[in-house]
Amino acid sequence: MQKRRFSLPPLDLIQAFEAAARTLSFTKAGQELHLTQSAVSRQMRALEENLGVRLFERRHRALTLTSEGRALQRAADRLLQGLQEATDAMRAGAAHPHLCVTTTGGFASLWLIPRLRGFTALHPDVDVRISATYKPVNLERDLVDVAVRYGREEDAPLGAVRLFGEELYPVCSPALQRQGVNPLLRLDDLRHHALLHMADANGFDSYEQMIQAALSGQGVAMGIDRLVRQLLDEGRLVAPFSKSLIGARAYFVIRSSLTGRRAHVQAFVDWLIAEARAVIPAAALSSRPPEGRSGDAARRARSAT
């Protein structure tokens, strides 16, 4: 027979203990829980027998916690507070569904947020909350519904859906491309310019910071086509070379095993996949660098989100 993962006292005993420990009164705890004083007293004796320790010092008209009681009070408070927050969130979500999405800052600011109005227009009752972080997030533990993660296909978890891959090429501000003494005409011209990256202590903490530095003319960054395409279409960035590099990583969407089948979560995932696979307008395609293999200079400029 498989051993139970948890061996805990009944929840009603924990709730009664928390009330009694907080008020230091079986009578007040009973009033709060709609029980008699004697019922709370019996519950506390049952809890002490379950644990094999004394939780209270019972004195004439006085009740104090033992050291074991104080330790259990701290643990019970954390447990019940966590359960209350989770159930409050679920009840609120049932009335007004909310959706928590975690992804990288680069994907959030450069791709997802500019498009998000399209989803909220279709589903105005869904409250979408985006958590932009480069740290791994456990969807079930942290009550997150959807994650968009960036990595190699072989590292993608079971059930992940590929949104799009990475087509990489150098990008910079139009002013930097036209810089008088060192214009960017050939890949070899990159040696005259700062190559922006994230890889070490001299680089940037996030992809969106690196792209912002490129926008302000601080150097040349390696752009991920689907993330910088809008900036190129707007003329805020330019791709000075007709070479690109197809990288080994891609963006994947993952759903929580707890909430991923809910209707509003499924609707968001379906919308996300449709947006990622939408046909790029012909005008945008005409300005895209043709696919191919860039030289070593472009590889030195490569970065990751």
Instruction: Return d(Cα 299, Cα 219) in angstroms, integer.
Output: 15
Which domains are present in the chain? 11-94 (1.10.10.10), 98-300 (3.40.190.290)
Instruction: Return d(Cα 42, Cα 39) in angstroms, integer.
Output: 5
Residue 257 has pLDDT above 70, yes or no: yes
Q: Which pLDDT score, from 0 to 100, does residue 301 have?
A: 38
- 140 or 290, greater pLDDT: 140
Residue 285 has pLDDT above 50, yes or no: no
pLDDT digits (tens, 9 = 90+) for 31-68: 999 999 999 999 999 999 999 999 999 888 889 999 99
- Going by pLDDT thresholds of 50, 70 and 90, the confidence category of residue 246 is very high
299 neighbors 251 (Cβ within 8 angstroms): no
Q: In the predicted model, what is the mean pLDDT of the chain?
A: 86
End-to-end CA distance of the chain: 47
Residue 299 has pLDDT above 70, yes or no: no
- Mean pLDDT, range 190-195, rounded to an integer: 88
pLDDT digits (tens, 9 = 90+) for 127-146: 999 999 888 889 988 889 99
Q: Nearest 5°: phi and psi at 145? A: -85, -40
Instruction: Return d(Cα 261, Cα 50) in angstroms, integer.
Output: 39
- Mean pLDDT, range 188-203, rounded to an integer: 78
- Going by pLDDT thresholds of 50, 70 and 90, the confidence category of residue 94 is low
Residue 190 has pLDDT above 50, yes or no: yes
- Mean pLDDT, range 152-156, rounded to an integer: 91
Q: Which pLDDT score, from 0 to 100, does residue 115 have?
A: 95
Q: Which pLDDT score, from 0 to 100, does residue 298 have?
A: 37
- Mean pLDDT, range 84-94, rounded to an integer: 74
Q: Which pLDDT score, from 0 to 100, does residue 5 have?
A: 82
Determine which of 76-90, 226-240, 271-285, 289-303 has the lowest per-residue pLDDT on average. 289-303
Cα 113 to Cα 44, 80, 119, 290, distances in angstroms: 53, 35, 10, 27
- 95 or 272, greater pLDDT: 272
Q: Which pLDDT score, from 0 to 100, does residue 2 have?
A: 67
| Long-range contacts, 42-50 (Cβ 8 Å, 24+) | 43/12, 43/13, 43/16, 43/17, 44/16, 44/17, 44/20, 46/13, 47/9, 47/13, 47/14, 47/16, 47/17, 50/9, 50/13
Nearest CA-CA partner of 273 in 265, 263, 282: 265
Note the Cα 304 to chain centre separation in Å.
17
Residue 282 has pLDDT above 70, yes or no: no
pLDDT digits (tens, 9 = 90+) for 199-240: 654 578 889 999 999 999 999 999 999 999 999 999 999 999
Residue 288 has pLDDT above 60, yes or no: no
How long a stretch of residues is the chain?
A: 305
- Going by pLDDT thresholds of 50, 70 and 90, the confidence category of residue 185 is confident
